[in-house]
Structure 1
Amino acid sequence: MSLLTKNGLSLKTQVYGLIVAISFISFFIRIITDVDTTRNYLQTQMASHAQDTATSLGLSISPYLEEDSIMIAQTMATAIFDSGYYNHIKFTDAQSNIVFELANPKRVESVPDWFIAMCKLNAPTMQSEINNGWLMAGVLEVTSHTGQSYLTLWQHTKRSLYGSFLLLMASLAIAFLILRAVFKPLKAVEDQAKLVTRKRFTLNNEIPVARELRTVTKAINNMVINLQSTFDSLTKQTQALTEEVYIDQLTGFGNRKSFENHFNSVVGSISEDTPITAMMLTLPSLANINQTVSYQDGDEHVLDAAATLKTLVTDLSNTRVFRLNGSTFIILAPYDTLFLNKARLELTDAFGQKENSLHINGFSNLALIQVNNGSSMGDVLSSLDTGCTIGEGTNVNKIDKDTLLSVNQWRALIKSIINSGEVSFSVQPVKRANSNDKQCYFEVFAHFTHEGEKVNNGHLFAMAEKLNLTEELDKKIIRNFVNVKEQHPDDIFALNISKASLYSTDFIQWLTLYAQTKAVLKNNLLFELHEISLLYNVHVASLHIDAIKEIGINVCIEHFGTSLTSFRYLQGLDVEYVKIDGSYIQDLITNTQSQFFIQTVNNICHGFGIKVITCLIEKPETLKILENLGCDGLQGNLIMPPSKIIKLNDESENKKFTFCSDAIKFCN
């Protein structure tokens, strides 16, 4: 019933239901009327037949009423009575004495008792006075037998029922064919409207014959054309701006401006749990190749190095690569230097194998540095440049190698966390624009503890992705968070879902089944998906997003804009929110290009019915600009920093949680 209330009843179903209801009502009324008419006819026929028989039999027996010939009269009456049409024949003399009487209590066995009870027939009794000469000799009474009439009525009812039913089925079949032809274009209009609500703009080429449907179809087609045109125009503008300002034309990586924005967006949030490591790669032989061979060969040299770096980034989630200038690349990774030692070893080996006679100064120089909270970009780049120049950090000593965990050790650690590790949560509200404490939702951050020690989420999920264990980590987060969600069913929460889970059919099936047992997951829940993960295979991601939406879970694309690619992939994705990457927020006050970018994202997304969220808001001036640009949701330490969800008790079946006082004001 709730699904019917939510989705409504289709016009097709209503019309079919109405026609079927009217047809069956007409069918039963026709049967009832026909049976009643036949019953009245048979009732009248029995009375007429009895009267005719009484009159004719009276005339026939009138000459034989003397005492010596009365047996002849009785024999004549018996001959008529034996036909079975009469229930009772009685002759009484003038003194009311019964001269003879015949009775037939026999009933028709082939007629059901329930039919006899429903269609009651009354046996009529008709009289005829018999005269002997000029004197009245007596009265002859004839009562009809209802058995034959019941049999006739029963047989007629069956014939009428069969005929009416066949006529009903034929009428319904014809009506179905006619309505199907009428509703076919309406179904096409409905499908087109559904696709529009899911951000998929398609034209309906089947123009209906019906004038009303033709008008609606043309109107929707025009709307789709206009939306598509607006989307294409805005997408081209944004893509042109992105390519001009933020993308290195040769490699497709972010350029120096993109690096500056990203660095400024993360340097203030560095902590022990969220470290950042910067890695610089220089190509010292690039100038020699350009001068002695050709600039085209120099570009090939750069692209070769870029391809190797791209492979590295694939294995390290949320890692960004930038090209600062002709021969310098820089990598920002959300891991500490110890964790990146293996990646540094792999890069050193890979570039060492590529070295040849053209590389008179070596193929590459590599330096690594841990970025501290609040570090200036100039100091970080200076340290990295020094490291590349003097070769510091390019060799990995024995201590580094000994401190690296093996793959088997990581596998054992992750499985132990999945089986018995503790999960705690913190939340940060996403505030609705132009409101004081109205939430769009709470973003949820999970924290793992193993044997009493916190585990770095970045390291944990990076290794889990290599070992194909991220799905199990996501399942553990969801199972543990259900306890919190059940106590706050009216508040909207957003959980981050990994790339592996997004593309896993098994995970989608598990989630669907688990939501059947935990109905609280079907309401007021979002999944945040990283844009880079989404772009891995947009078609498959779209199908799985549809499956997630079917459960009742909405979707948000986070770090929107980090891919530096066209926004065209948004068309066809049924998402509720996009969250613009923080790199576009930090210099928003002075950077008109970032303002234009955010304004364009708002125009594109609002045209699709997608809400836009911005994060990492630290200044009141930034907040005001974003609200003026039309953003729907705002998130950052200015509004409220992440706060822990407090566990009030540890009872396994009755866990209770609450928020800190600052977060409670955002609760619904």
Structure 2
Amino acid sequence: MTLYRQLLLWMLVILFLLTSAVFAIQFKTTKNYLIEQQSTELNNVVSSIGFALSPYLKAKDLISAESVINATFDSGYYSQVKLTLLDSEKEIIRHYPQVTNNVPHWFQSLVHIETISQTRTLTSGWLQLANISVTSSPISAYIQLWKATIQLVLGFIACLLFGAIVLAFVLNKVLKPLKQIQKSAQEMALNHFTDPLPTPHTRELSDLVTAFNSMNIQLQQHFEQQAQETDSLRVRAYQDPVSGLANRSYLITKLQSWLLNNPSGGIILLKSDTIENSYQKSGYESGDHLVQKLAERLKELSADDVTIARLNQSEFILIAPNASEDDLMETGRTMLYMTSELNSDPLGIAPLQAAVGIVACSATLTITALLTHADNALNKARQEVKEPIALLDSSKKKTIQIMGKQQWKTLVDEAIANNLIHFTFQQAINTNNDVIHKEMFAYIKKGEHKFNAGQFLSAIEKLNEGTKFDCYVIDTIFNQLTKKTKSVPVAINITQSSINDTGFIRWLNRKLQSYPQMKQSILFELPEICFIKNIDNTSLLCEIIRQNGFQFGIDNYGHNFSSLGYLNKLRPSYVKLDFAYTSQLDDQMKTDVLESITRSAHNLSILTIASRVETIEQKEKLTQLKIQGFQGYITAQLVNGK
């Protein structure tokens, strides 16, 4: 029971006891008054009847005497009148009915009022004529006492209600700072930090609020400092300090993983002579300024599966998995255009002081060979007269992966129309090898051909056509899980184009409202790039998911080298670490970065899941670094082996 309710209850109990005591005193006083009034009236009537009857009794006129008795005692205040003549022993007796229709029987049995009898001898001079005995009736007293009781009860009930309302209002006002402290403390327990509480006028609560605000600010500063330290460690380990892009170490890690998984797409190598000349002629300050200017433009090309890195002083590389040759050429031209903005050429007639080399990747390439091909493509680009851009295709044969964006869109539309989309699931487990959830991966199967989501998602994303695909996937998964009585939670990936589509957000809100029973069965996984580039729409979607009782997580956490401050604001249920943080566990600096990132999420009660965990040894090392979840090739073996 809350303090407010306890105080209110005890105050109401005390108020009830006080009003009960007052009620009892008032009731007893009223009862005694009515009994006293009854005795007085009886005494008066007996005295007056004596004077009225004496002349008739002296004249032996019993008929007149009886008439006087009937006239005097017809008011119902008396139960019996008895007149006894002393000289003849004759008696006149009158009994009056005791009707109590207006008073409950239980009240009469509970409150007992005695009848009063009074006898007096009637005389005429010294001559005794008769004895008269009158017995009162308690009915009138009962009626008056019952009416008085009803008035008292109603009055005291009204007082109690009014007192309860006043007490509730006063206590609520007095304890409002305490309730604010309670609510803020609950938020603080979840590592949610609120604005400082207003200082109340009550001295004791004022001291408490002041101390609480101070503690709240200190904890908030501690978490912010920890997040800044985490960002600093990430910058030193994986980020180029000048451009803010990925550094060479992070790039090599990405290339290694990419080349091991049957790569498609390609890389784009940009060489800026303007930046190189600036470093040589004007010094590091001028060169760094141009690097930062170009990096800000290059970041506009970032996506969930795209990695942009600074290779050396004036060279930048963009990894574009699953991109077609046309897409690579289009992106390369965009990078050239961004580089041209560094030149002071208002007329736009000066030659570009930059070149772009593009390599379409194949599974047979090593990192060294891939970078060598990129250098060769760059040299070839410099020889182009019209446009300093060149593409080398390192693959031996053309495959379906070079389909254009419109072709991929047509294929996806056909797959949706004909139910050609199928699903595979990969389990995420905890340290005890228990399944946390399973992530859903979609693929298209058309005839003998199979197309993974990675091949076509980037194409439909560029056409902003991801909403239709997401709606189909969500509908299908909801329908499948509705038929199951119990299932492991399924994580559904949402595309960036859907997150930026307000129509999709409204549709998803209606969907979630229609399926409240699916709260424990469905999770939504959002790419981290949306929290960087589209924070407003992403925040709206996250709020709708949370309001409907569902949960969401963040994929590729840490990929975009942005501040991790959005975690404290949006509070996902889990984050899946970018595999670059979990692939090089022998490097102490990178291990420190991973441990710091994990600690930041853990302090916010956010589950951290490592992706692409391939071996038991890797899982054990990650466990020592406080990673709580694992997903990859090894997870299915561990679950099946339990």
Under a length normalisation based on structure 1, what TM-score does the superposition of the two structures give? 0.75
| CA offset digits 1:516-546 (Å, max 9, x no partner) | 4423332365433322211235566456545
Q: CA deviation at 1:260?
A: 0.9
Q: CA deviation at 1:582?
A: 0.2
Q: CA deviation at 1:87?
A: 6.1
CA separation of 1:597 and 1:306: change in aligned 2, threshold 3 A: closer
**Equivalent pair of 2:276/2:313 in contact (CA under 8 Å):** no
Q: CA deviation at 1:596?
A: 1.0
Matched, 1:621 2:617: yes
Q: CA deviation at 1:284?
A: 5.8
Q: CA deviation at 1:548?
A: 3.0
Alignment-derived partner of residue 637 in structure 1? 633
Alignment-derived partner of residue 424 in structure 2? 426
Alignment-derived partner of residue 597 in structure 1? 593
CA separation of 1:516 and 1:118: change in aligned 2, threshold 3 A: farther
In structure 2, give the amino acid aligned to 1:56. Answer: S
Matched, 1:59 2:50: yes
Q: CA deviation at 1:369?
A: 0.8
In structure 1, give the amino acid aligned to 2:35. Answer: T
| CA offset digits 1:612-657 (Å, max 9, x no partner) | 322222234332322222222222213337xxxxxxxxxxxxxxxx
| CA offset digits 1:87-146 (Å, max 9, x no partner) | 6656566899763647578889xxxx5x64563388865544464668784654444373
**Equivalent pair of 1:129/1:136 in contact (CA under 8 Å):** no
CA separation of 1:587 and 1:126: change in aligned 2, threshold 3 A: closer
Alignment-derived partner of residue 329 in structure 1? 316
From 449, 454, 457, the equivalent of 2:453 is: 457
For 1:449 and 1:329, the matched residues in 2 are separated by 37
From 129, 144, 150, the equivalent of 2:137 is: 144
Alignment-derived partner of residue 491 in structure 1? 488
Q: What secondary structure is seen at the aligned counterpart in 2 of 1:638?
A: helix
Alignment of 1:386-405 (within 5 A): 386-391=376-381, 394=390, 404-405=404-405
Alignment-derived partner of residue 300 in structure 2? 311
Q: What secondary structure is seen at the aligned counterpart in 2 of 1:201?
A: coil
**Equivalent pair of 2:309/2:318 in contact (CA under 8 Å):** yes
| CA offset digits 1:162-193 (Å, max 9, x no partner) | 54345335533442344234312212212321
Q: What secondary structure is seen at the aligned counterpart in 1 of 2:176?
A: helix
For 1:335 and 1:470, the matched residues in 2 are separated by 16
Q: What secondary structure is seen at the aligned counterpart in 2 of 1:609?
A: coil
For 1:38 and 1:490, the matched residues in 2 are separated by 73
In structure 1, give the amino acid aligned to 2:563. Answer: S
Matched, 1:474 2:466: no
For 2:595 and 2:82, the matched residues in 1 are separated by 107
From 59, 72, 86, the equivalent of 1:80 is: 72
Q: What secondary structure is seen at the aligned counterpart in 2 of 1:622?
A: helix
Alignment-derived partner of residue 528 in structure 1? 525
In structure 2, give the amino acid aligned to 1:99. Answer: I
**Equivalent pair of 1:42/1:149 in contact (CA under 8 Å):** no
Alignment of 1:265-280 (within 5 A): 265-270=257-262, 275-280=264-269
**Equivalent pair of 1:497/1:529 in contact (CA under 8 Å):** yes
From 351, 359, 363, the equivalent of 1:368 is: 359
Q: What secondary structure is seen at the aligned counterpart in 1 of 2:192?
A: coil
In structure 2, give the amino acid aligned to 1:532. Answer: I
In structure 1, give the amino acid aligned to 2:178. Answer: L
Alignment-derived partner of residue 152 in structure 2? 160
Alignment of 1:291-302 (within 5 A): none
CA separation of 1:510 and 1:72: change in aligned 2, threshold 3 A: farther
CA separation of 1:440 and 1:410: change in aligned 2, threshold 3 A: closer
For 1:212 and 1:533, the matched residues in 2 are separated by 47
For 1:417 and 1:36, the matched residues in 2 are separated by 87
For 1:529 and 1:96, the matched residues in 2 are separated by 113
For 1:122 and 1:194, the matched residues in 2 are separated by 59
For 2:324 and 2:283, the matched residues in 1 are separated by 37
Q: What secondary structure is seen at the aligned counterpart in 1 of 2:526?
A: strand
Q: Which runs of 5+ in 1 are unaligned?
A: 1-8, 642-661
For 2:207 and 2:627, the matched residues in 1 are separated by 35
Larger Rg: 2
For 1:453 and 1:185, the matched residues in 2 are separated by 66
CA separation of 1:551 and 1:351: change in aligned 2, threshold 3 A: closer
Alignment-derived partner of residue 379 in structure 1? 369
Alignment-derived partner of residue 396 in structure 2? none
**Equivalent pair of 1:199/1:573 in contact (CA under 8 Å):** no
Alignment-derived partner of residue 107 in structure 2? 119
For 2:335 and 2:177, the matched residues in 1 are separated by 64
Q: What secondary structure is seen at the aligned counterpart in 2 of 1:172?
A: helix
From 567, 570, 582, the equivalent of 1:570 is: 567
CA separation of 1:542 and 1:222: change in aligned 2, threshold 3 A: farther
CA separation of 1:46 and 1:517: change in aligned 2, threshold 3 A: farther
| CA offset digits 1:420-474 (Å, max 9, x no partner) | 63554333232223x3x22333333344567996554245544554555544543
Q: What secondary structure is seen at the aligned counterpart in 2 of 1:614?
A: strand
**Equivalent pair of 1:265/1:585 in contact (CA under 8 Å):** no
CA separation of 1:12 and 1:128: change in aligned 2, threshold 3 A: closer
**Equivalent pair of 1:127/1:139 in contact (CA under 8 Å):** no
**Equivalent pair of 2:340/2:352 in contact (CA under 8 Å):** no
Alignment of 1:343-362 (within 5 A): 343-344=330-331, 347=334, 350=337, 360=351
Q: CA deviation at 1:583?
A: 0.8
Q: What secondary structure is seen at the aligned counterpart in 2 of 1:640?
A: helix
| CA offset digits 1:57-99 (Å, max 9, x no partner) | 5634355336742244334334433556446656566899763
Matched, 1:235 2:227: yes
Q: What secondary structure is seen at the aligned counterpart in 1 of 2:583?
A: coil
Q: CA deviation at 1:480?
A: 2.6
For 1:98 and 1:439, the matched residues in 2 are separated by 105
Matched, 1:259 2:251: yes
Alignment-derived partner of residue 653 in structure 1? none
Q: What secondary structure is seen at the aligned counterpart in 1 of 2:233?
A: helix
In structure 1, give the amino acid aligned to 2:248. Answer: R
From 580, 585, 588, the equivalent of 1:583 is: 580
For 2:639 and 2:480, the matched residues in 1 are separated by 14
Q: Which shifted more, 320-329 or 293-302?
A: 293-302
Q: What secondary structure is seen at the aligned counterpart in 2 of 1:269?
A: coil
**Equivalent pair of 1:448/1:454 in contact (CA under 8 Å):** yes
For 1:366 and 1:173, the matched residues in 2 are separated by 79
In structure 1, give the amino acid aligned to 2:92. Answer: V
In structure 2, give the amino acid aligned to 1:631. Answer: I
| CA offset digits 1:537-596 (Å, max 9, x no partner) | 55664565455334333333332221223333333332333322101222222x222101
Q: What secondary structure is seen at the aligned counterpart in 2 of 1:325?
A: coil
**Equivalent pair of 1:285/1:363 in contact (CA under 8 Å):** yes
| CA offset digits 1:346-367 (Å, max 9, x no partner) | 6389479879788657642231
**Equivalent pair of 1:87/1:105 in contact (CA under 8 Å):** yes
Q: CA deviation at 1:256?
A: 1.4
The number of residue pairs the alignment matches comes to 618
Alignment-derived partner of residue 608 in structure 1? 604
